[in-house]
Structure 1
């Protein structure tokens, strides 16, 4: 795909991986639309970007998803890339009684999976009208192996991974629509602070890998430690019927 002159919507674009990607895309000559829940953070992020606007809203809420999709259609008819990056993650020790494990899991699954499916379905008709378009889902190294610290987060990202594969297969014969999946390992962001993010890679590394993959139309985008796992597993997965 081209890496400039796109119009790109990035959920969770006011900080972390989303903002890092927004900076790279903005610097490359793309129009960037960042989304987040906090207006102050959005405005601060805009100061670091060129040719960018913000749409405040919580994509985990159905009415907000519909409103944002309508605004994109009305004000940004040239939208051709959406990056589903917004997420929720909690430390969720399943051995601790009364830790609201199911409530945390519900929030993670809603934000990381259900909301992505619904929002993508709302925006797909607009994307399909473009000469070239992409859906980019930011999943995680956790799609391959969960652990005792983030079991329900990992499950939500595994669900997103499976959906992404299905979406890609659905539009496999449509040469205009590309479905990317970005697999970051642990990344040092405010978002990941609760799950040990301080020891992770910089968000800029994820952004660099994504931009390189976009240029090559490489729809599978493993980053950092995920590359070794992906190299072992993906050739096997590609041999399965799909």
Structure 2
């Protein structure tokens, strides 16, 4: 019985298993064995026997059989929750929220309430609306305004549907990183004119992609610069 536990037969060689094991590798295996003994998963005799085999181990393949019945595969981790838009129509206000920036700036951020109707006017100024932590008071929010030598910058949470109906004269609008709308999420409608000005709507930044493709891209950039 003991012999079958210590031999790596049936497990298969690990990647690079022929490589020499270092003292650090042996210390990690020793920690696993000591933890298993403390938890009652190994008897004193089994623990001592595996320690003797550990001292004689030379390669990674020699270490496989010592912990194969003690260490399971890693448990899947839950994907991080993505904060979605908040909708609360109970305390909704019917008043229009007016924002004016003339040679100045206006900002809304944090836990503020987004009313159903917003009027936005900027003349040589800027209006910055951060809705990522805000609460929407209506399923449909309409922002109308006029931006002359000024602009409107909006940050929205994931899931919000954005309908850009602005008209640009020597100006324009830009909507990016918004993603697919979520069922039941608020709809943001933007109307107005940008004259030598602009409207910018941004959603959460997409997650950076790491892995083989990213590594290949970095190597390609390195070769290009050299």
TM range (shorter): under 0.3
Query: TM-score, normalising length from structure 2?
Result: 0.27
Query: TM-score, normalising length from structure 1?
Result: 0.26
Larger radius of gyration: 2
Question: Which has the higher relative contact order, 1 or 2, with Cα contacts under 8 A spaced 6 or more apart?
Answer: 1
